[in-house]
Structure formats: structure tokens, C-alpha cells
Chains A and B, each alone.
Chain A
């Protein structure tokens, strides 16, 4: 396992560096914003107030609270300390709710929707691609154009089509929200059922989007592997086709796993937009609300969390790859 440990540590180190970098970016960019966010919120809160000194006082209070008057380095230190405690500041648009609370509400919806959807899409896409490469003929000719079409379709386009076709025209499934508007979250069966049916459209939209790209890639990889020297040699030595197919797909899968790691960022972005279209109560909508409310602590917090999620997913996938590709262990051993 020694080789593996090296690989693991290297990836972990990389994860750390990238995260620090993202963190820095996340801190600096919003603060480059022209204009004074504190003035914006003061204005909102003091609407109707006539006393000038009163307004000024409130402005000072907020400036103090949000620390926008302090030198940048101090702000940064404060920020790091806060984040370490899980404190992302207080939302402007939903004042006085803390950002952390807002995020906590929506993050589970996003995670439970997106990650299963992306993985299921990846699996189905790869299986279809492999089948197309192996079966050739009719199946292949049908699958290819569909995959090309699907993969070119923008994420939100797919979501809208699904919404219109299944939600509105056929009226099979609900089109917005995470659960029925009239229900209160509880452990009752009707609530759980409502969650499940509201889950369907966003879920399948994301799955469909993921399938297209994966199928094409896996098909190419499989075709490439099927023509590899070791396939010919195995045949020469009399090994049955079925076993050889097993070899081929195991080998073709490996780059696909790496591909997933690289593509996770894009997939998550697409999925976020899909969430918005379905008014799903996840991070996508949180961003939307933040943008509309000029809420920079919220945006800052959400983007940081999303980056962290993607980085972690990336890290986990790379770990899994290290486990399933025997060459990693072997080549790192000396």
C-alpha cells in the first residue's frame, strides 16, 4: 500500500493548495466591487427615515459589523477566523439571517439532487457507450446521433424541455419546489412522497444532460481499446471473447473516471441552472436570490461552498481512481 500512500498524499496536498487559492479568490473578488455594499444595505434598512444623523449612525454600525472599513489584511484574518467557525457573515438581503443558516437549508437539497444524478448519468452514459462500441450495427447508429444531440444541448435547455413536456403538457410531474407548497416538512409519508415526485424532473434532467457526453467518450475509448494489441494477443492465445470484453471495458473505464473528475465542475454548473429552472430549493436558487438582492456575503459564502464541494468530489474521485487502477500502486512503489 506504500505506493498508494504517496499518491494519496500528493493528491491531498494538491487539494489543499487549490482550496487555499480558491479561498483567496473568493475573498478578493467581491471586495473589488466598486461601490459600497454597506451603503446599499443602509439604504434599504433606513428607507423612510428622515434623520440624517440616525442614518449615519446605522451606517457606522453596519460598517463596523461587516468590517468593510478595516484594512484588507485585517479583514482577511477576520474572514478566515470566521469561516473556520462556520460563520460566513450575515446576509444582506435576508438580514438578519446568517449566511451559514441559509446555506445549510439549501445545501442538502443540492447535494442529494446533483451528486446522485451526475453519477447515475455517468453510469448510464458509460454503459450505453460501451454497448454501442461492442454491439455496433443498428444500436450504434441510433445511439450516436442521439448522444451528439444530447451533449450539445445546453443544460438549461434540457431542463426547460423536460419541464414543458412532462410538467406542463403531459402534466405528469410537478414543476417547481422541493415539495408541495401546502406541506410542512415532517416525517410523514405524504411529505416524503411529495419530495420524491418533486425530485423526478430535476433529477432526470441532470441525468440526461450527463449521459450524452459520457456515451460518446466511452464509445470512443471502447473502440480504441477493442483494437488494442493486447486484445489481439489474448485472442491469439485462445481466450474467450467474453473475458476479453471484460478486459476492454475495465480498461476503458479508467480514463472515464478521470474524465468525470475533470467534468464535475461543468456538470455542477449545469445542474445549478437546472435547479433554478425548477425552482428547486437548492444552492442554485440561493445564488439567484443573492444576485437579485445584491447580497455579497451570501454570494461569497455560496461560491465558496460550491467550490469546496467540487474540490472534494474531485478529490474523492481521484482517490477511487487510485484504488481501482493497479498501475498506480505499482508505479509508485519504487
Chain B
């Protein structure tokens, strides 16, 4: 029975605008990742995935506030925990984060090894410099970085090297959960593949016990994660294994995403190319019914009337729609 590394129940967090309005960027999100597994979260810009990442870490800084829900990391409930305690024992150690555009995440005036020392000392003040050094070298090796990099300043490294350095630093304390926020978006395709391979490597070797991979490119996740979750306007709209989500999406939004992408994958050739018209709703005052209804080709009047729950599609799959697969098929033929 594998351990659940991270379990999130009904998490809701909000931003408070200057005018005092509440924007629920993460709206009753639940997820679960087991040891040795990885979860991909996909969605367009502004759907709340990065906010979700910050919320998972317990990283609440104004204007972001925790509202309700549980976050349990390896059996330990950290939601609503004192931020200082979070800083000391959770951040970096239990759960680590690789930010977007990681290139800029390093302090330009500090040597890499000195920064690593700072990170480690913040959690384990007694570790000796030598131990730190060998630990760092170990991680760097997995990521294909030579040991000399440790003695350099960020300005001396290329973009790709900085990215890998940041990954190495993030996993240095062998976190239970690694959240990678668009780790490959700022890179060229070759580097993208390399980063993904490294992340998988890290997991295979046990340096990280589970991973959450955030991206806006849904098909990318097929090669990376075991399960996929699709987010739209702050809510989860689809849930399933990678294969299921990419090749047989259930929610109209996921269908639209896959239809809008030109990827020479098996089974997609010959299909029609479609774009999703419209824009996501303003979360300051979300629409009463389904949030995707305005852009959905299958929408019926009932869709806009009340909020939609996740619909169980069997064996762990779920999607947030009142229509069944069959009903959508009919509408597709007619519309």
C-alpha cells in the first residue's frame, strides 16, 4: 500500500483586490498523489494553476489568503499552520517548488554553493560544509551538471544550466512532493525534453517521492506524468490517467484543448483542427452555472442555471459536466 504523499481536500484560496473584492482563484480543488507517482495539472493562463501551487506550499502572502480546505502532506495537515512553522519545517523540505522562468530564481551575487549552503542550513544548521558539498555534487551529477558550477555565480551560467541548477537546489533536501511550475516553458524543445527526462530520473532514483507538474501544454503531460488534472477558471474540470485525459478527454474544454493542438501523436491525424472561441470568465463574479458554458459547443440552457459538480466516470476518472459522453456525441453530430 503506497503512501499518499499529498492529499488536498476541497481547497479554496482567494485573492483580495485593492477594492476589497474576493477572487477565488482556487475553488474547492481536491487531488491526491501517491508515492512514486506524478500528477500533471494543465490549464490556460489565469486558470489558477500557479495559485494552486502557491497554496499547496502554504505560501500565503497578501493579497493571497487561505480560505478553507485541507492540505495533508505525508499524513501531516499543514493547512492553516503557522507560517513560520511552515517556513521552518515544510517549505523546501517536505514540499519544494521550481518556479516558472527559474533562470531568475538565483541570487545574482551569491555563489551557487553558498546559496545551497543557505538552503540547507535553514533546515539543518548542523550539517558540515563537506557534507553539503558532497550532497550538492550528487544532485548535480543526476542533472548532468559538472561540479565546477557550484563555485560559479549565476551570471556565468547559460539559461539551461541555470534551470538545471534550480532543479538541483529544489530537490536537495529530498522533498516528498516537488511542484514544478512550467519548468520547460521558457526553454527550447531539446532542453524541454532534457528537463523532463531529468525530473523523471530524479523520481526514479528516489530523490523526490512524488511530483506535480504544471503546464499549459496538455499533450506534453502524456510523456511526463501518470495522472492528469485539467483546471479551468479555478476549478478542476477533468481528472484521469494521462492516457485517458489526452486521448479520450471527457470534458468539453479538454476536448477543445486537444482539438486545438497540432501534435503528430498517434490517433490524432485526420481529426479536425478546432480552436476554442471566447475567453475565461472573470473570477471576481463567476457565472452562476458552468463556467465553461459560454464557450461550450454542447451547452444547453440547464448548464447555466446551477453550479456543476464533478461527475464520476468510473475507475478514478471524473469530469465536471452534466452531459454524459453519449449526450455530447449526439450534440456534436447535430451542431
Contact = CB atoms under 8 A, between A and B. Distances in A.
B93 interface: yes
Interface residues of B, number: 32
Q: Which of B108, B123, B169 has the most CB of A within 10 A?
A: B108
Contact of B59 (A230, A236, A325): A236
B118 interface: yes
B156 interface: yes
Contacts of B97: 233, 236
Contacts of B105: 229-230, 232-233
Interface string A109-149: 00000000000000000000000000000000000000000
Contacts of A83: none
B174 interface: no
A32 interface: no
A36 B99 CA distance: 73
Interface stretch (B5-13, B69-77, B84-92, B193-201): B84-92
A51 interface: no
Interface in B83-140: 87-88, 90-93, 96-97, 99, 101-102, 104-111, 118-119, 122-123
Interface in A215-250: 228-230, 232-240, 243, 247, 250
Contact of A233 (B88, B99, B122, B156): B99
Contacts of B109: 247, 250-251, 254, 325-327
A334 to B, nearest CB: 8
Contact of B88 (A230, A235, A238): A238
A252 to B, nearest CB: 11
A230 B108 contact: yes
Interface of B: 57, 59, 87-88, 90-93, 96-97, 99, 101-102, 104-111, 118-119, 122-123, 152-153, 155-156, 166, 169-170
Given A230-B106, A251-B108, A330-B156, 11 more contacts: A234-B119, A236-B96, A236-B97, A237-B91, A238-B122, A239-B122, A243-B118, A247-B107, A251-B109, A326-B111, A330-B153
Interface of A: 228-230, 232-240, 243, 247, 250-251, 254, 325-327, 330-331, 333
